[in-house]
Amino acid sequence: MSFESLAVQRWALPNGIELHGVRAGKGVPLIFIHGAMGDWRSWEAQWSAFTAHFDCISYSRRFSFPNQNHQSSPHHSALDEALDLEHLLNLLSIDKAILVGSSYGGFTALALAVQAPQRIQALVAVEPPMMKYAYFTPEGRDIAEAFRTSTIEPANAAFRAGDDVRAAQIMTGGINGATSAVSSGAAMDKRLQNLQAMKMIALSSDEFPLISPEQLAALPMPVLLMSGLNTQPVHKAIFDNVVVAMPNAKAVRVAGAGHGVSREQAAFFNTTVLAFVAEFSTL
């Protein structure tokens, strides 16, 4: 059976949000949380490796395929996504889980860890885009402002003009690099199925809310932070400052990868994360 032919479940949360995803395996619960233009299918390269050891759930966040949620408020952020995830844990009677998140999914994982640390056994975050951290250094501020000028502002303008596809192309190039494999072909087609998710983040009044260094430093669970050595400068600036804020976290920089570490260096990612969570997988 192919990954995409797995039986997709629908979960109705008490806040009126519906989420879709897949679940397989046995053992300690492990939740995969995808990035801004991904969905439950983003973890195909991890699925068989992790379901052999864990009770795995890969779900689509609030505005991602195939969910049909709508929200008129311009205040959407990772804080809302974290509340959705906590509702999902409650619905599935999961008291405590391991979280593995990439990009905005990593941001979501850290947001829940701050809000409900007792629910998280261990946490893996790949380049969480906590943009305000770039501004903690003069060099990072310059990089973040250049990213805002070259990527965020043109993409937002395209979204407001109704040219959503162009906005997605601009954002994809800025986040992953113009030559990234996800900028064209089948990978881009999947990303376009998640336009609403990107749009809700891009047009939010505060898409990158601050989780303070003090809150991150106080997290009690083991944390693994991962970044690609070939990532875009804005991600490196953010990541470097997040690492400084989390002296107790383990940080790994992955050769041959950009922003999409779990996709671009799947074998290394799987081996590294499995070794990390194996130490903390007894609930």
Which strands make up the sheet holding 250-254, listed edge to edge?
9-12, 18-24, 55-59, 29-33, 97-102, 120-126, 223-228, 250-254
Give the mean pLDDT of 26-45. 95
**Residue pLDDT, tens place only, 233-267:** 999 999 999 999 999 999 999 999 999 999 999 99
In this model, does residue 28 exceed pLDDT 60? yes
Q: State how far the alpha carbon of 124 is from the alpha carbons of 115, 154, 253, 256, 279, in Å.
A: 16, 31, 13, 19, 13
**Residue pLDDT, tens place only, 77-132:** 999 999 999 999 999 999 999 999 999 999 999 999 999 999 999 999 999 999 99
| Least confident interval from 22-26, 108-112, 149-153, 271-275 | 149-153
CA 176 to chain centre: 14
Residue 168's pLDDT is 84
In this model, does residue 188 exceed pLDDT 80? no
Give the three-state DSSP class for 55. strand
Residue 14's pLDDT is 96
Vertex 52, ends 51 and 55: CA angle to 5°? 40
